[in-house]
Chain A
Amino acid sequence: GQQVMQIPQYQHVQEGEDFTTYCNSSTTLSNIQWYKQRPGGHPVFLIQLVKSGEVKKQKRLTFQFGEAKKNSSLHITATQTTDVGTYFCAGPMTTDSWGKLQFGAGTQVVVTP
């Protein structure tokens, strides 16, 4: 079945540094979504990418969808303590099941001041 893998599993970042987390799917995705979960919180939608090669920016966050629509990345510049949390990518398990998402295992981000 479809698998969505994320690396790294853990990311320790010094405040002010940049980092990237990667998401890879075993199958082509119709879209990919990114969610952020703060410690003790619930997943919150960040962005959805649909087109091959699409790049979207949200302030210091840059999201990219691969040309083959099988991988994605999230790049955060000038990391802040507010970026702490776990970042999940997720893709639909079938082409018509936009809500039945296969989540990656997440990248847990720790920021040191």
Chain B
Amino acid sequence: DTAVSQTPKYLVTQMGNDKSIKCEQNLGHDTMYWYKQDSKKFLKIMFSYNNKELIINETVPNRFSPKSPDKAHLNLHINSLELGDSAVYFCASNDRGRRDTIYFGEGSWLTVV
């Protein structure tokens, strides 16, 4: 039983395409996140949703649009992909009310060619 699951795990696509990454958590957490890890392993937060409401939106290009249909799901849609978008995208979740630690998904390896 995977706690935070992401699909797809690997994605290779051409520049200019639009792609989505899906995330689901079965931990009953109220907050979900998208983190980006670049080639130098630097982890940076992109977005956070609490009970379907956007609460964190870091400086991210408008081409990135998160959507949370319910508190167990947080998807990431990326328009007009660029080479620089190649990275590992981690979905994560926690229970913000309990100030719990973050549980990461296994990551989605995105390669833009």
Contacts and interface: CB of A to CB of B under 8 A. Distances in A.
Interface in B79-113: 90, 92, 94, 96, 99-107
Interface in B43-62: 43-45, 48, 56
A86 B105 contact: no
A98 B96 CA distance: 7
Interface stretch (A16-24, A42-50, A56-64): A42-50
Q: Is the interface of A mostly helix, strand, loop or mixed?
A: strand
Contacts of A100: 45, 48, 56
Contacts of B104: 42-44
Instruction: Place the interface of chain A in its size category.
Output: 20 to 34
A42 B41 contact: no
Contact of A42 (B31, B90, B96, B99): B90
Interface residues of B, number: 23
Contacts, number: 49
A65 interface: no
Given A97-B56, A99-B33, A42 B105 contact: yes
A37 B41 CA distance: 10
B31 A99 contact: yes
Given A42-B107, A100-B48, A105 B94 contact: no
Contacts of B41: 37, 86, 105-106, 108
Given A42-B106, A98-B96, 15 more contacts: A33-B101, A41-B106, A41-B107, A42-B104, A43-B90, A44-B104, A45-B102, A90-B43, A98-B100, A99-B94, A99-B102, A100-B48, A103-B44, A106-B41, A106-B42
